[in-house]
Chains A and B, each alone.
Chain A
Amino acid sequence: MDEDRQILEVDILFVGGGPANLSAALRLTQLIASHNGQISAGNRSSPRLEPRIALIEKGHDVGAHAISGAIFDPIALEELLPDYRDRGFPFSLHVTQHSLRYLTTERNVRLPNVLIPPSYRQDRCYLGSLQKLNLWLAEQVEAAGAYLFHETCGVRILYDGARVCGVQTGDKGLDADGGRKANYQPGTNIHARITVFGEGPYGTLAEDLINRFKLREGRDPQSYALGVKEVIQVKSGGSPGLAIHTIGYPLGSHVFGGGFCYGFDNNLFAVGMVCGLDWDDPQMDAQAQLQRLKKHPFIQRFLQGGEVIAYGAKTLPEGGYFAVPRPYVDGALLVGDSAGLLNVPYLKGIHYAMKSGILAAETMFDALLQNDTSASTLSSYEARLASSYIMQDLYHVRNFRRAFAYGCPPGLLLGGLTMWTGLGPTKPGAVREDFRHLRPLDQAVRGRWADEPAQYDAGVLVDKLTDVYHSGTQHREDQPSHIQILDPARCVTDCIPRFGDAPCTYFCPARVYELVGEGAGRRIQINFANCVHCKTCVIKDPLDVISGDHVQNIVWRAPAEGGPHYQGL
C-alpha cells in the first residue's frame, strides 16, 4: 500500500493552520529574509538559508476550523508585525465596556472591576473572530513564500528511528469500508527536518507524540474545558464593544466555567459558555446550558428577536503551568494549545499561541543555521518559553484553576487571591484527568434547574441539531467514520448502568452520539457526519474509570476529509 505514496521533501512542516503555526511560519520567513539580506549586503558570511516551508490544515481553509471568543490581546502581534494596522488587519473594534457578572436564576450582580488585577482587564484588547485573524495571517505567510495546503490532514507521524521526520497525510477517496473509490488519492509522506505540531487542544498527532515520548512525565495531566459559541444576528440594537463575562447560573456550583456575551458591529453578538470538563454530572450538556444562558433576563435583553447564524464548539487546555508538556523532541516542536498554552483567568490563549510560534521560529532559525535539528538544539525552545511572559504569567496563576477543585464559591475566593498574589503550591500534583470526575447521576451535584428541559423557540433558542447545521459541518456520508467505539457492548453493559445515563449523548455538543433502540437492542449510534472536531469525547470518555486501565473506548482520529465550516467564529 505504501509503494504508491508520493513523497514531498520540505525543511519545515507545520501541522495545523492556527495562530501559533501561522505566526511561527511568518516569523521564520522574516528571520530568514533578514539573514539573507545581511549576506547580500556583505555583513554576514554564513551561507544563505532557503528552506522550503509548508503548512497543512485539515479545514477547507485556515479559518474553517478556527473558533474562539474572541477577545484578542495584540501583544504578540505587535512583536510579529509592528505595522499590522497598515496591512489590512481585520479587527478594528476594541472592548469598550467590560463587566464580570454573577448570575442567579433571575438576577445579576456586577463584580467590581477593582477585584480584577490590572493586567487581567480587557480594555486594551480587540474583539474579533479567530477565523478572520487566521485568514489574514495566512495571506502574510503565503506572500512570504511558504506553501499552504488546505484540506490536508496529518494522520500519522513519520519517524526515522526515534527522530520525527514528517507526517503522512490522509488517504482521500475512500468509501465507508475503507475501500478505494474511483478518485482514490493516497496520502503523501511529507518529509521534514523539523515538524511543528500546532493542532489545537488534544491534537491527534500531538497526543501521539506526547504519549510516545512521555512528554507529560512529572507534570500534571492536561485539564480541558469545552467552549460552545453562537453568533446571533439581531435586527437592531447592537452593542459594539460590549464584553460581558458571567459566572453562576446556569452552571451548578460544581462546574467550573461561565458565559460570555460580546457585541460586534452590524448588530451581531457572540454568546457562549466555557465549562470545565472535570464536571461530575453525566447529563451535563454545554449546548443546552448555552440556551439557558440566553434565556437569562440579563443576556436575553441583548438578543431579543435575534437569530442564530453560526455555531461551533471546541475544547481548550486549562491545566496551566503544571500541565505544559515538554515541548520538543528530536525533529519536532509543540506550539499553542497543543502545548497547553492558555491563561485561564485572563480567558485567553491566542496571544500565547502566537508568542509560542515566534519562539519556535527563533529556535528553528538557530537549528537551520547550525544545521542541527536534534532535541539538544530544539531544547532551547523550552528555555525560551520559560523566560517569556507565557510561562512567567502561567506560573503566577498556576493555582487559579486548581482552586476550583473546592467548588465554585471557594474557588472564586482562592482563585482570585492567587491571581493577585501568585501564592500557593509550587509543584504539580493531585490533578486527575477530566474523565475521572464523572459520577453516577444520583451522586452528581446538579443545579436545581438541571432537570427542566432547555426551551427552544427556533429563533434565538435552538436545539442541538439546528446548531450543528449552523456549524456548516460536512463529512461525506460514504467516507469511513473517523470515530470508533472499540467495544460498543460496554456502553450498554457498563457505562449506562454505572452513570445512570449515557454521558456521551450529553457531553457531545454536536449530537454525534445517540442512544437508539430499546431493551436488548439498545446501542450507541455514531453520527460522525455531525462532528465539529471539538475532541470532548476522547477527553471525557469515562470507560477508563470502570476498567481501571488506560484504554479508552472512544477513538477519535482526525479524518482526511470534512469537518466544520465555521464562519465568523
Chain B
Amino acid sequence: MKLIVCIKQVPATESKLVLTRNGTDIERAGLNFVMNPYDEFAVEEALRIKERLGAEDVTALSLRPHAAQKPEEALRTCLAMGADKAILLSDPAFEGGDSYTTALVLAAALRCLPFDLLLFGKQAVDDDGGAVGIQVAELLGLPHVAVVNKLEVDTQSRCIVAHRQIEGGVEVVEAPLPSLITCQKGLNEPRYPSLPGIMKAKQKPLEIWNRDRIGLEPTAIGVAGAKVNVVRLESPPARPAGRIISGDAVAAVQELVRLLHEEAKVI
C-alpha cells in the first residue's frame, strides 16, 4: 500500500501580514512559514497507517506557490516525522496560480506516481479555500471523503471507512481504494519529529520536479491558467481601544447595559 500526503506551507499564525503594493497578495519575504496544521494531521495519519498496516511507503508532496517560499522546509519536517520520500513541484510556471491550477499541477504529478490513498488537510489556514483536495479527486476521478476525523483502512477488501463529524452526529462513509481524504482536527495528535528522525531526514530523498517532468502547458497553469482573479486583499479594521467602566458594581453594570444598547447596539 502506498500513501501520498499533499502538504502546503503557510505563514505561521502569529505572523504580521503586510500587503503588497498592488494590494492583491501578501509580502512573503521575511515571513515565518510552517506546515499547514491540518496537513500535519494528514501526515500523522499516513504514518500511523504505515505503522499499523506495514504500508510500503509514505511520500510527501508540495508545490512552491511563490519564489520567496521554501516548502523544502515543511517537506523536511515530514521526512523527520517519518515520511520516506518527498517531492517538491517547483517551476516559475507553477507560481501565482489559484486552487484550480494548484490542483491541476498536483494531479499531473500524481498521475506519475503509484498510490492507494491520498491525504490532504481539510483546508490551508492561510486562504481557507478548502478546495484543492476535492479538485484533485475530481481531476483524477477518485472517490473522496472530506473533513475526516476518524479513519479505518481495510486492506483485505481494499476500502476505507471514514468518519465525519456532522451537525448532531457522525456520518460514516465507505469508499474503495484508491481514494482521497481531507483531514480534520481530532483525527490524531501529530507527533513531534525526534532528533534521530531529523538526522535521518537529511539522508532521505527530496526530489524537485519541474514542468517538463510532469508535462503541462504553461498557459494552463500558474497566473495564466488561474480561474480566480484576486481583486483586492484588505486587512481587518484595527480594533478600537477597549473601555473600562469604573465605579461601583451596580452603577457600572447599568452603564454597561446602556452602552451595549445605545452605542454598540448589540442588545
Contact = CB atoms under 8 A, between A and B. Distances in A.
A60 B12 contact: yes
A456 interface: yes
B264 interface: no
Given A8-B196, A60-B12, A458-B241, A185 B191 contact: yes
A147 B195 CA distance: 10
A458 B241 CA distance: 7
A567 B32 CA distance: 8
Interface in B204-246: 238, 240-241
Contacts of B241: 456, 458
Interface string A57-76: 00011001000000000000
Nearest to B188: A182
Contacts of A567: 15-16, 30-32
B193 to A, nearest CB: 8
A181 B189 contact: yes
Contacts of B55: none
B170 to A, nearest CB: 20
A152 B190 contact: no
A190 B240 CA distance: 49
A309 B194 CA distance: 34
Contacts of A470: 16
B32 A60 contact: yes
Interface in A42-92: 60-61, 64
B195 A6 contact: yes
Contacts of A151: 192
Contact of B15 (A152, A181, A458, A472): A472
Contacts of A188: 194-196
B191 A183 contact: yes
A504 to B, nearest CB: 23
A309 B188 contact: no
Contacts of A309: 16
B179 to A, nearest CB: 26
Nearest to B191: A183
A568 B30 contact: yes
A181 B191 CA distance: 10
Nearest to A457: B241
Interface in A495-514: none
A152 B16 CA distance: 25
Interface string B171-189: 0000000000000000011
B198 interface: yes
Contact of B14 (A147, A149, A183, A565): A565
Given A181-B189, A183-B191, A474 B14 contact: yes
Contact of B198 (A147, A473, A474): A147
Interface residues of B, number: 22
Interface centre among A181, A309, A472 (most CB of B within 10 A): A472
A310 interface: yes
Contact of B192 (A61, A185, A456, A474): A185
A8 B196 CA distance: 7
A173 B241 CA distance: 37
Contacts of A183: 189-192
Interface residues of A, number: 29
B68 interface: no
B190 A458 contact: no
B257 interface: no
A420 to B, nearest CB: 41
A151 B34 CA distance: 13
Interface in B8-34: 12, 14-16, 30-32, 34
Nearest to A150: B198
A169 interface: yes
Interface centre among B12, B16, B189, B241 (most CB of A within 10 A): B16
Contacts of A101: none
Contacts of B190: 183
A172 interface: yes
Interface string B122-137: 0000000000000000
B199 interface: yes
A172 B192 contact: yes
Contacts of A472: 12, 14-16, 32
Interface in A555-569: 565, 567-568
Interface string A239-276: 00000000000000000000000000000000000000
A3 to B, nearest CB: 16
B32 A185 contact: no
A61 B14 CA distance: 15
Interface string A176-188: 0000011101001
Interface in A523-566: 565
B189 A182 contact: yes
B32 A169 contact: no
Interface string B26-59: 0000111010000000000000000000000000
Contacts of B194: 6, 185, 188
A152 B195 contact: yes
A464 B64 CA distance: 38
A147 B199 contact: yes
Contacts of A149: 195, 198
B16 A310 contact: yes
Contacts of B199: 8, 147
Nearest to A187: B195
A40 B192 CA distance: 41
B220 to A, nearest CB: 35
Interface centre among B14, B196, B241 (most CB of A within 10 A): B14
Interface in A130-151: 147, 149, 151
A557 B192 CA distance: 21
B1 to A, nearest CB: 23
B247 to A, nearest CB: 16
A473 B199 CA distance: 27
Interface string A298-332: 00000000000110000000000000000000000
Nearest to B199: A147
Nearest to B239: A458
B195 A458 contact: no
Contacts of B191: 183, 185
B35 to A, nearest CB: 12
Interface string A139-174: 000000001010110000000000000000100110
Contacts of A568: 30
Contacts of A6: 194-196
30 contacts: A8-B196, A60-B32, A60-B34, A61-B32, A64-B32, A147-B199, A149-B195, A151-B192, A173-B189, A182-B188, A183-B191, A183-B192, A188-B195, A190-B195, A309-B16, A310-B16, A456-B241, A458-B240, A458-B241, A470-B16, A472-B12, A472-B14, A472-B15, A472-B16, A474-B14, A565-B32, A567-B15, A567-B16, A567-B31, A568-B30
Given A60-B12, A472-B14, 19 more contacts: A6-B195, A6-B196, A8-B196, A60-B34, A147-B199, A151-B192, A173-B189, A181-B189, A185-B191, A188-B195, A309-B16, A458-B238, A458-B241, A470-B16, A472-B15, A472-B32, A474-B14, A565-B32, A567-B30
Closest 9 A/B residue pairs (Cβ): A183-B189, A472-B14, A182-B189, A185-B192, A172-B192, A188-B195, A183-B191, A8-B195, A565-B14
